Amino acid sequence: MMPGTVLSTILSGCGSIPALVIPAAALSLLKILQETTSVSHASEIPQIPPATENDPNARGSESAFHRLVDRISRPTVPSLAAFAAVAGLALITGTVVLFIDLPLPVMGILSLVSLSLLALAAPALVCRAFGGVWLPKPLPSPSAGTGPDPAGPGIEESPGSGPSGETGRLLPYLPADPSPSVISQYWVSEPFAYVTIAQEGVERFRYTVTEPALTGKEMIVLQETYARLRDLVIYDTSEKDRERKFQPEFVNTIIRQFDPDVTDEQLRILNYYLSRDLAGYGSLDPIMKDPDIEDISCNGYDLPVFVFNRAYGSLPTNIIFTKETINQFVLKLAQKANKQVSLSNPLVDATLPDGARIQITYSDVVSTRGSSFTIRRFRAEPMTPLDLVRYGTYNAETLAFLWLAIEHRKSLIVAGGTASGKTSTMNAVSLFIPQNAKIVSLEDTREIQLPHRNWLPTVTRELNIPGIKGGDIDLFTLLKASMRQRPEYIIVGEVRGAEAQTLFQAMNTGHATLSTIHAGSVGEAINRLTHDPINVPPVMFTALDLVVVQGIYTSGKTRIRRCLSIHEISVNANGQVAATPLYEWHVRTDTFRRVSETSKVLAEIAFLRGWSDEELAAELKRREEFFARALQEQPETIMDLANAIHDLGE
């Protein structure tokens, strides 16, 4: 590779330099960058010996070349004059060769001279550009200060820990005495990344991600190692051998080829960034590992990424994508989701490998701010009834009622606004379904997580292939197919169209169903179901037993989710749908109270089981006491909790 190629690679900040043969010009360039950066008060970069250490001729030529480049790159008047002479002579000889008709031998000699001078001037020019050494300036005195902290925020320094007097840098640390404005600070990828939630103004908060800072040399080594690993994965690695290529021992071998003097701590930091960028989500990887984050959204380039924290709501972050990087990032997200996004197909809804839902808008075809994305994350462990009680979303009495209703195959719909926790609640109360019951779930993107063994999860499919029509599988198609599978319980992620009519048909044929709908109240839910585009006939509501309404509110500085009410559904003599409140949430006291002494659902259950009123009350009380015991004992896994619920239900 010629020095000009090395120059273009460095200037572009990307590309691939062969891992085993690094040109002498590139190595010299890194050494010169070390010296010029030191002059400009930046952190020192240790020298890198040539990779062709088995070739003595290469070492000798590298040494001579380095001395020449060093002499014309210094911040002195003679060095600047020498650089101007070399660059000028290269320009003059090149012009003569291109525009003057000369004998062939003379032209060949002048061409060699011009190329040699250009190879000498190019790395010197880059060194002066990176180090800011354009005009002569005095060297700093030994007693001068060290200048700005090169390590960046959150990085400690300890002198003399690196080779050749290099300034040693430690990994990020959590301050022992954070600022009074800091509300929360915790690790998300210890010991490499932590987040800080700090207050800005009266009611504003900011979410900041802190990761290890990288020097200029480390950035170059990281880019070259990344390119080498990428090439190995794409071209040189079979699927069986791919996992071995990402082992730290193998990665460290490649890093040392580019920098033999790298320290163990630098290796850990570089491995972190390589793992983050190759296998993770790049700069968003720390946020994706934060268990308190529900949503991640970016509305365009040059705008901060926003996150939705469970406790503090929507917060801006310190992560900002440029116009170029956000296009590359959304393409990477689409690739991770096994979806195709392009200018002809700029909108994509998909599921990431970890189960998170993602919506992508590519380029400025439909969005004036360029590419954008929204990631809806879900808990690694699904929400359980114990979590609902622990967070105050429900109390033991309301959950005991829902437990008894679902166990006896009553159908319900959870209604609520965006981010009110509808799906989480439906997933939690699904644990009340008997363990051996046949369950079929239907979703646009996979969210439901159940421990039941007799459960068939299905998802829709949307084909966005130009020239191919048909092949889409929507919720309506899935629901019709599920009816042939003889399910006892049907769970639909959300009803919003024609599938609602089929869902009510399933209710009326004896299938117990659980679903969600976007609505702020029981009245709004009924209006949506009985009008366009759903149009469920009111007479079919006789099969729907319960509507649970859930909402999200701000209490002080935190967000809370609460069950606002539980209604029993019936159809009166005039054919109108009526909703009778059974439980309601009292806002001022943050408590739940029963507002109706009689319950159609409980009366039907008591009749089917032959229970008296006292026996029915005892069954409800048993379930309430179960929650109190379970909160104290804390079952280790969701399967243990499901088994305990099943044992008590029997």
* DSSP of 120-159: HHHHHHHHHHHHT-SS--PPPPTTS---S-TT-TT--EET
CB hemisphere CA count around 291 (13 angstroms): 8
Task: Report the distance separating Cα 15 and Cα 281, nearest Å.
Answer: 20
Specify the DSSP class assigned to residue 461. B
On whether both 311 and 361 belong to a single domain, the answer is yes
**What residues contact residue 292 under an 8 Å CB cut-off, 6+ apart?**
309, 310, 311
On whether both 372 and 475 belong to a single domain, the answer is no
On whether both 370 and 440 belong to a single domain, the answer is no
Task: List the CATH number of the domain containing 348.
Answer: 3.30.450.380
> For position 87, what pLDDT does the model report?
84
Distances (CA, A) of 521 to 85, 258, 394, 545: 81, 62, 17, 16
> For position 273, what pLDDT does the model report?
93
On whether both 589 and 542 belong to a single domain, the answer is yes
Q: Which two tokens stand for residue 551?
A: 């909402």
Q: Is residue 390 part of a domain?
A: no
> For position 20, what pLDDT does the model report?
32
Q: What is the domain count for the chain? A: 3
**What residues contact residue 19 under an 8 Å CB cut-off, 6+ apart?**
224, 228, 254, 257, 258
> For position 454, what pLDDT does the model report?
95
On whether both 503 and 562 belong to a single domain, the answer is yes
Q: Is residue 639 part of a domain?
A: no
pTM over 0.85: no
On whether both 35 and 108 belong to a single domain, the answer is yes
pLDDT along the chain (650 residues), means of 10: 39 35 38 39 34 40 61 71 83 85 85 85 72 50 33 33 42 78 91 92 86 90 88 60 68 89 90 90 94 94 94 92 93 91 89 88 90 88 92 96 96 93 94 94 86 92 65 84 91 87 87 94 95 91 96 84 96 92 94 94 95 95 94 89 85
Range of the domain at 56: 3-131
Q: Is residue 188 part of a domain?
A: no
> For position 551, what pLDDT does the model report?
95
> For position 242, what pLDDT does the model report?
55
On whether both 459 and 578 belong to a single domain, the answer is yes
On whether both 421 and 540 belong to a single domain, the answer is yes
Distances (CA, A) of 383 to 261, 430, 609: 49, 10, 30
Q: Is residue 207 part of a domain?
A: no
Q: Is residue 211 part of a domain?
A: no
Q: Is residue 168 part of a domain?
A: no
On whether both 502 and 368 belong to a single domain, the answer is no
* Helical packing angle, 216-231 and 24-39, nearest 10°: 150
On whether both 575 and 459 belong to a single domain, the answer is yes
**What residues contact residue 509 under an 8 Å CB cut-off, 6+ apart?**
483
Task: List the CATH number of the domain containing 481.
Answer: 3.40.50.300
On whether both 458 and 348 belong to a single domain, the answer is no
Q: Is residue 163 part of a domain?
A: no
Q: Is residue 517 part of a domain?
A: yes
> For position 83, what pLDDT does the model report?
80
Contact at 8 Å (CB) between 461 and 446?
no
On whether both 96 and 232 belong to a single domain, the answer is no
